[in-house]
Amino acid sequence: MDKPTLLEVAIFPLDWDEPVQLLQSLREQLQAVDPMFGVDWSASPQEQAPDEPVGFVFLLALEPGLAQPLAQGIYSWLTVHEKNTVILRNKGRAVELTEGLGFPAVYRDIQLMLPGEPGQTPTQFPLPPESDGD
């Protein structure tokens, strides 16, 4: 069994309820696949420069098989919460997910954060086919 990948999930919300709503969306998606899935949620603002938005950060220990439901949870949340950004960080890498991305792009970016050989999909799920709307 593959070792979980620790991902830092940062959100820079327009509304203070939005980080909680994202967390609930992710829990619904991920616990449907793995009922034991947990999230380390600090719910405290991160220090920022005065001219930068305040961000909230939580940690996910992501099993490779949970990449698709994680992508679905983030994508679903971004479609409802416009003008928001979710940033995933891991070992010096970062991806920025915004409302304009389609599900295949969100899923691909999450896959890039997981360990694997270059050019190989690191999970058991194939990338979803590109749809005309993306």
Domains of the chain by start residue, with CATH: 5-91+100-112 (3.30.70.260)
Considering the chain, what is the average pLDDT of its residues? 72
Percent of the chain whose pLDDT exceeds 70:
64
Rounded average pLDDT over 28-32: 74
d(CA 39, CA 83): 24
Query: Coil, strand or helix: which one is 59?
Result: strand
pLDDT for residue 109 is more than 70: yes
Lowest mean pLDDT among 5-9, 41-45, 63-67, 78-82: 41-45
**Which residue has better confidence, 62 or 102?**
102
**What's the start-to-end Cα distance of the chain, in Å?**
33
pLDDT for residue 85 is more than 80: yes
Provide the pLDDT confidence category of residue 103 given band limits of 50, 70 and 90.
very high
Query: Coil, strand or helix: which one is 48?
Result: coil
pLDDT for residue 117 is more than 60: no
CA distances from 32 to 11, 43, 52, 60, 110 (A): 23, 23, 35, 16, 19
pLDDT (0 to 100) of residue 51: 52
